[in-house]
Amino acid sequence: MISMEKDYKPYIAAILMQCSFAGLFLLLKEAMSSGMKPSVFVAYRQAFATIALLPFAFFFQSKGSPHLTWSGLCKIFFISSWMVLSFNLNLAGLQYVSATFGTAILTMVPTLVFIMAICLRIENLAITKWHGIAKILGTVLVLSGVMAFTFYKGPPLYSASTNNHQQGHHSFEKTSTKQEWIKGSLLSIASQLFQALWLTMQAPLLTKYKGKLRLTVLQCGFSCLMATIYGAAVERNLSSWKLGWDINLLSLLYCGVVVTGVTYWLQAWVIEKKGPVFSAIFGPLALILAAIFSALFLKETLHWGSVLGGGLLVTGLYIFLWGKNREARNKAQQQLDHSIEEAHFEGITISASPNEKAEERDAQI
């Protein structure tokens, strides 16, 4: 029973991560609509995350963690820059594309991480095995779900009150020109490329530096430094950096402490236990939760196309996870068989030794 509970912990952690990302989506829309500058938001977000995690990293740091070298710090600094690029590009792209596209494009990450992990030989792909076929099929279904979720609406399933437009309620969907849509799409795709690259490189870092808390704090601190320098260069007006007791401060606290701090530490733990692809494949859940929360709290219309896309995403998710579990069981069985063969071979060698000595004595006589 204990082993079963341990096996479920990465799944629970991954689901909690996606719930926090869905909350980030809602608060981010509110903050951006109230005039918060993207570069300022990223700088404050990383600062709050660093401050929140620093005491825990100091008091709960594992004793067996190796000392960081200058080359290791430079490597962490370089990888942290991808986090800053991803955040800034994502917020810049959201200014030109719809909220649905901005959220749906996040589900590119599992496919990108899957491809990058294969290229770096972090992830294996056996196309002749059932688990390999399942991983490919699951990835294709996830991409199909993204396409359906984004480009096919269909009839409305759940609609906000028909008086919204008459009462002058604000709509979060932004009408953009074709050029702006292409620009925003390219920025969003570039953001996911850097996010996938950063996520993929967490596995090699965690194999060398076992202290997950210290590694997370270092990345948050380095990204905060870079985001602050970039934000100061872009937004030189001091009024853009002022915070009040409003939705902007709430969004920053949530995004910095809960998402960037706690959730990224959880993500590092899940990657250490199950690998980067396992962590990234849960990304579609955030899209589904965000769509539901947007319909309930932001009064956006939920269409049947979202249901179709969500169904494809969930189906692809579970097919991929089945392939991952089947692959893990096969590896465990192979290791067990190999251990049994080695033990059996050693037993034969030991038992054969007295007989060989007896034959030598008979030959001498």
Q: What is the mean pLDDT of residues 75-82?
A: 89
Separation CA 177–CA 163 (nearest Å): 27
- Whole-number pLDDT of residue 169: 44
- Whole-number pLDDT of residue 226: 94
- Check residues 125 and 75 and name the one with the higher pLDDT: 75
Q: Rounded to the nearest 5°, which phi and psi values hold at 302? A: -100, 120
- Whole-number pLDDT of residue 65: 62
Task: Tokens for 148, please give them.
Answer: 């359906």
129 DSSP 8-state letter: S
Separation CA 22–CA 325 (nearest Å): 26
Cα 223 from chain centroid (whole Å): 17
The 10 Å Cβ neighbour count of residue 97 is 24
Note the pTM of the prediction, 2 decimals: 0.69
Q: What is the mean pLDDT of residues 274-299?
A: 72
Average pLDDT, the chain: 75
- Whole-number pLDDT of residue 227: 93
Q: Which residues contact 23 (CB under 8 A, 6 or more apart)?
A: 254, 258, 259, 293
- Check residues 347 and 50 and name the one with the higher pLDDT: 50
Task: Tokens for 223, please give them.
Answer: 């990204």
Please, are residues 267 and 279 in contact by the beta-carbon 8 Å criterion? yes
Q: What residues pair up with 303 in beta bridges, in sequence order?
A: 156
Among 47-51, 86-90, 146-150, which stretch is predicted with the lowest mean pLDDT?
A: 146-150
Residue among 112, 90, 110, 109 at smallest CA distance from 99: 90
Query: What is the end-to-end Cα distance of the chain in Å, rounded?
Result: 61
Q: What is the mean pLDDT of residues 272-281?
A: 74
Is pLDDT above 80 for 194?
yes
Residue among 206, 349, 258 at smallest CA distance from 53: 258
The 10 Å Cβ neighbour count of residue 332 is 10
Category of 11 on φ-ψ map: left (φ > 0), alpha (ψ -120 to 50) or beta = alpha
User: pLDDT tens across 109-133, in order?
Assistant: 777 777 787 777 777 777 778 888 8
User: pLDDT tens across 203-256, in order?
Assistant: 778 777 777 778 888 888 999 999 999 999 988 888 888 888 888 888 888 887
- Whole-number pLDDT of residue 119: 79
Kindly indicate the confidence band of residue 50, based on its pLDDT and cuts at 50, 70 and 90.
confident
Share of the chain above pLDDT 70, in %: 74
Separation CA 136–CA 230 (nearest Å): 39
The 10 Å Cβ neighbour count of residue 229 is 12
Separation CA 303–CA 148 (nearest Å): 11
Amino acid letter, residue 290: A
Is pLDDT above 60 for 174?
no
Separation CA 110–CA 138 (nearest Å): 10
- Check residues 47 and 112 and name the one with the higher pLDDT: 47
- ∠ Cα 4 7 10 (to 5°): 145
- ∠ Cα 80 216 203 (to 5°): 75
CA dist list (Å): 347 to 241, 341, 342? 72, 10, 9
Is pLDDT above 50 for 167?
no
Amino acid letter, residue 321: L
Residue among 15, 363, 59 at smallest CA distance from 211: 59
- Whole-number pLDDT of residue 317: 75
Q: Which helix (H) or strand (E) holds 157?
A: strand 156-158
SS3 303: strand
User: pLDDT tens across 298-357, in order?
Assistant: 666 666 777 787 788 778 877 877 887 788 777 777 777 777 777 766 666 555 555 555
- Whole-number pLDDT of residue 266: 83
Map out the domains of the chain as residue ranges. Answer: 12-60+67-154+174-352
Is pLDDT above 50 for 147?
yes
User: pLDDT tens across 6-41, in order?
Assistant: 568 888 888 888 888 777 767 877 777 778 888 898
- Whole-number pLDDT of residue 348: 64
Share of the chain above pLDDT 90, in %: 4
- Whole-number pLDDT of residue 163: 41
Separation CA 150–CA 148 (nearest Å): 5
- Whole-number pLDDT of residue 273: 80
